[in-house]
Structure 1
């Protein structure tokens, strides 16, 4: 049975990457949560997707230029449903305090672009170990140097490269960086790629799968998981297929 990961939480119905969205993902019985992390000016790990706060909050500027106290003053639900909701940008530590009390798994995407500075990776790994959640976390990134660094420092934590374009024999590439899975963009993930990758021992979790026909295709192909903005809709579809 394919698992269902809530993309930035239940972001199709709740403000993305907020505790409101994560709570909803658990309520609708998602199997896991996908979220994004980066660092503030004072080195705190916060959960937000974009390099800037402009799209999702009532502020403007780059995440790295805000201190934690400054970024906490912003409303992370400002552009959702015309600002009717209020939500803070959560820290990863705040999320982890709640997460370890659930039965969920979590895919943490590392939003980092450097191959030299591993401050984000080290702080994320330290938090995972602090909460003893190594067996419930998957680390992914478009920066494959980043997740390979994590593999070397914490080989007990699963890693999976993200990619947007077609990749020749991605299972071979994954094995080359000692990854257990791959997270391809759904349009770069034909059915045969799912089958061949998993036959070669590499788990496939495509993103961001929202259309019914795409969900059905990945469910029937036996993908390890789908990453979707609408976890409740995906779960009901999976149940209707008897999978």
Structure 2
């Protein structure tokens, strides 16, 4: 005979699973969706670092000419307290000078190299006539209504507060997104300007996936407004997070199984949380991302993504 525990537990478990699936598919029954100020279909990675030298004003101008919906940026702080748009803390890769951005005043920053390898398209190089590093303030002034995501990599409170202040000064809190992989950094960002929408950190993304797989996600409030996620199919092809090919293959397989879930993306989108995949540079990857239901894509080649979007109007 069935034990009393199983007698009650099995129907309860079945009911819980049915309820979870029901609300996963109908998120608006439990949550009022956030209404975003913008819908980014085409995001330019470092301004479109496959077509012009990364993070230069020329790259940003090129992306905007291609009707980019938002610009993806990383910021560093110079010795004299200027917020500059730069992916690296150290200038060696991009400028050939083995010094930290923070060790130089803004006026002494070196020019970018004449050509730079495109990080997510190994073997491809970008060129441009503009080789100057740019201040975040200049970008805000040049593109006052263009949405941007600003990634902060280190726990530099002065940098965070200066970014927050510039965003307020240019009245663009609604269209500037905090991004960071580290939750400790994100806490400081949110405290510095809580009006700015913010994205999932790595630990919060793992937590969100766990909630999804145990069926609790539909019942839990989510304060984040953006998911900036890599697309697992680019691992071992254009993105190599590990030096060992075997580990990259394993990471591609495991992350593909965990992340590429249409029901998850549809649920997040139904709650107004925008899912953006990076950094995709080939049409086959655009197909996969939009096929999963993503809001948009971040690319090094805005020309290719613009052509794709114009040919696949949805």
Normalised TM-score (structure 2): 0.67
Aligned partner of 1:210 among 269, 274, 281: 281
Query: Is 1:97 paired with 2:141?
Result: yes
Give unpaired runs (5+ residues) of structure 1.
none
User: How many pairs does the alignment contain?
Assistant: 236
**Secondary structure of the residue that 2:265 maps to in structure 1?**
helix
2:225 paired residue number: 180
Q: Deviations over 1:80-104 (max 9, x none)?
A: 469763421111111111011xx42
Q: Deviations over 1:171-209 (max 9, x none)?
A: 969977732122112214414342343244422112111
Q: CA deviation at 1:167?
A: 2.6
Aligned partner of 1:148 among 165, 184, 187: 187
Is the alpha carbon distance of 1:204 and 1:172 closer, same or farther for their aligned partners in structure 2, counting shifts above 3 Å?
farther
What is the rounded CA distance, in whole Å, between the counterparts of 1:160 and 1:62 in structure 2?
27
What is the rounded CA distance, in whole Å, between the counterparts of 1:8 and 1:43 in structure 2?
21
Give unpaired runs (5+ residues) of structure 2.
1-38, 117-124, 233-254
Is the alpha carbon distance of 1:153 and 1:75 closer, same or farther for their aligned partners in structure 2, counting shifts above 3 Å?
closer
**Secondary structure of the residue that 1:25 maps to in structure 2?**
helix
Query: Is 1:4 paired with 2:42?
Result: yes
Is the alpha carbon distance of 1:167 and 1:211 closer, same or farther for their aligned partners in structure 2, counting shifts above 3 Å?
farther
1:17 paired residue number: 55
What is the rounded CA distance, in whole Å, between the counterparts of 2:181 and 2:61 in structure 1?
26
Query: Is 1:233 paired with 2:304?
Result: yes
2:66 paired residue number: 28
**Secondary structure of the residue that 2:115 maps to in structure 1?**
coil
Normalised TM-score (structure 1): 0.85
Query: Is 1:109 paired with 2:119?
Result: no
What is the rounded CA distance, in whole Å, between the counterparts of 1:160 and 1:198 in structure 2?
14
CA RMSD of superposed structures (Å): 2.8
Q: Which has the larger radius of gyration?
A: 2
Aligned partner of 1:53 among 82, 85, 91: 91
Asked whether the 8 Å contact 1:2–1:222 carries over to 2, the reply is no
